[in-house]
Chain A
Amino acid sequence: SYELTQPPSVSVSPGQTASITCSGDKLGDKYVCWYQQKSGQSPVLVIDQDTKRPSGIPERFSGSNSGNTATLTISGTQAMDEADYYCQAWDSSSSAVFGGGTQLTVL
């Protein structure tokens, strides 16, 4: 089965750039989405189809995907961005696959 690997945690200082990676075999051949989940809340789609920001998502969120790695980048990170982030792709049998999640700490 297809697997996506994320670092368990990433720390960033306020105002700095946070990068969260997601690795999978030939991931660049697939579309990747990213979700933000704040404590006690439902996930929110922040990046769709590798690079697209849904309506209402701040411009500081961006995405890229190439080779075996997709990256979510948060520029000028704010305290409100502290959350768990999950990457997601589709495998060859039309099942969604989620990464294990990355806890972003802003300190």
Chain B
Amino acid sequence: EVQLVQSGAEVKKPGESLKISCKGSGYSFTSYWIGWVRQMPGKGLEWMGMIYPGDSDTRYSPSFQGQVTMSADKSIYTAYLQWSSLKASDTAMYYCARLDVNGMDVWGQGTTVTVSS
């Protein structure tokens, strides 16, 4: 079964750092882009960017460039999304998704990030 399994919910304080993960299984992890999508509470889907685990080529949405860092460790089939200094406005659900041709055909279960003092 093709699946993406994300790390668990996080509760952090403003200014703290965070790295969440997305582990792929059931397919050739290095052959598909992995995208990251933010969904703030009660809001729609927002594209953050994508990474190609085969060579770590990364493309950020202009809205998130400089705000987050995407990385991947192909040896353990895992992609990461990290923040160096969280803000309250980073509170959201974060999804990873596999990109197939044009669409995102497999999604992780989501990671809830709560940033509060």
- Interface residues, chain A, with chain B CB atoms under 8 Å away: 1, 31, 33, 35, 37, 42-45, 48-49, 54, 84, 86, 88, 90, 93-101
Contacts and interface: CB of A to CB of B under 8 A. Distances in A.
Given A42-B109, A95-B62, A101 B103 contact: no
Contacts, number: 62
Contact of B62 (A1, A35, A37, A86): A1
Contacts of A99: 44
Contacts of A97: 47
B89 interface: no
Contacts of B59: 94-95
B101 A48 contact: yes
Interface residues of B, number: 23
A49 B103 contact: yes
A88 to B, nearest CB: 7
A101 B45 contact: yes
B109 A90 contact: no
Q: Binding site of B, secondary structure by majority: helix, strand, loop or mixed?
A: strand
Interface string B91-108: 000010100111111011
Interface of B: 35, 37, 44-47, 49-50, 59, 61-62, 95, 97, 100-105, 107-110
B45 A45 contact: no
B8 to A, nearest CB: 15
A96 B110 contact: no
A90 B102 contact: yes
Instruction: Tell me which of A31, A84, A98 has the highest count of chain B C-beta atoms within 10 A of its own C-beta.
Output: A98
Contact of B102 (A1, A43, A49, A84): A49
